[in-house]
Amino acid sequence: MLIPAAETNPPAAAQAPALTHTPNHDDFSRQLSNRTWQPPDLSEWATPYYLTHAWSMYHATAWHHTRPDTRVTLHPEYLVTLYDPVYTSLAANNRLPRLEHGLVDLSDADQDAFLAELDGAIRAWNGDSNAKVGGASGVDWVAIAQTVVDRTGGTLAELHALLTLTDVPPAPDAAEVVSTARLVVFALLMPYIDHAALFAPGITTAERSSVLADVSKQCRVALTGHIDAPAYQLTPQERRLKHAVEGVLQRICGFSSRVLEEALDLLETSSTDQTAVRRKLAIAEWREGVKDLMGWLGWAMWERCPRMCGWDEQCYIPMWPLDSLDERDSERVPEPLVPRCIKREDFKQ
């Protein structure tokens, strides 16, 4: 029994004191954003292992540092997102770093439209007998997205590393950097290039520009061009994914085509002082361009520790609620979200 046996008549319940404030989710979110929230003091119930619980927790999360996570099955054919350009009230996010994206500007109209789409997608998924085995269209969107990353992610990182080295003394020869950059982007674009047209004897600058414009178009639809066929019955969410894949490839291939075009032009120009200046300016522009492109893409493959961590370490990316580690040792991490190897001692509280 919950009431002691000696008590035949339980005492009247004491009147609850009036609450002056009811905590809610908005209060909690505001405390998080203002960094005023503090976890409750659990030292009263602490065990001898309390000081290492954070390390054990993060160590456990590292079991799943793989992509894709095999514990989660996505159904992209019904995937909704507020990154759709149709939600114009959030357009400002496109001009902000990824970590500053937010929903504070979401209009009532966009919110209603999103909730309506979400409701429709859930109902459609529940009524789709094919959803559990691959979706109505049969398109493997996860594989397509991973193919984009696999084909271009390493090349973009290589180009970024090459162009970044120009800031490290002794600076390499500008002509050599331009030549290597040409080879890097050519490798990315090679499957879509009409080699006979691009390297035709006596080709003019305008003709080369036209050829490379076609290269960008071919690259953009390389993985999804066939999905326009009537046989594919795409959901609204799948049409969005198709446009997203093509938009990403358009930006990657367009940038790579521009670098290739400018590099070919610079290498064909006679070496003069003016040409040397143009080459250095081009390298600086490419460096900022690939940096912005990689920042816009934000792929996880680029977030890794600069060295292989030891067996007594974990590769750590600053995050809440463990980002206090960086506040104690801010000099070691000059930028947000820069991974580094950490030890158990770093997690002691």
CA distance 310 to 316: 12
CB neighbour list of residue 286: distance below 8 Å, 6 or more residues apart:
159, 163, 181, 259, 262
pTM for this one? 0.77
Q: Are residues 184 and 112 in the same domain?
A: no
Q: Are residues 148 and 293 in the same domain?
A: yes
Looking at 86, 113, 133, which one is the last position of a domain? 133
Give the amino acid at 153.
G
Is residue 329 domain-resident?
yes
| Residue 337: domain span | 313-343
Q: Are residues 289 and 338 in the same domain?
A: no
The number of domains in the chain is 3
CB neighbour list of residue 181: distance below 8 Å, 6 or more residues apart:
159, 162, 163, 259, 263, 283, 286
Q: Are residues 171 and 97 in the same domain?
A: no
**Residue 176 corresponds to which tokens in the numbers above?**
């050599």
Helices (H), 169-230: 174-189, 195-198, 205-220
Q: Are residues 337 and 224 in the same domain?
A: no
Is residue 9 domain-resident?
no
Q: Are residues 273 and 329 in the same domain?
A: no
**pLDDT tens per residue across all 349 residues of the chain:** 333 334 444 444 444 444 444 445 556 556 555 666 676 776 677 677 766 777 888 888 888 776 667 788 888 999 999 999 899 999 998 888 777 888 999 999 999 999 999 999 999 888 866 555 555 688 999 999 999 999 999 999 999 999 997 665 556 788 999 999 999 999 999 999 999 999 999 999 999 999 999 999 999 999 999 998 777 889 999 999 999 999 999 999 999 999 999 999 999 888 788 888 999 999 999 999 999 999 889 898 898 888 999 999 988 887 766 665 555 454 544 456 788 898 888 876 5
Cis peptide before 40 (omega within 30 of 0): no
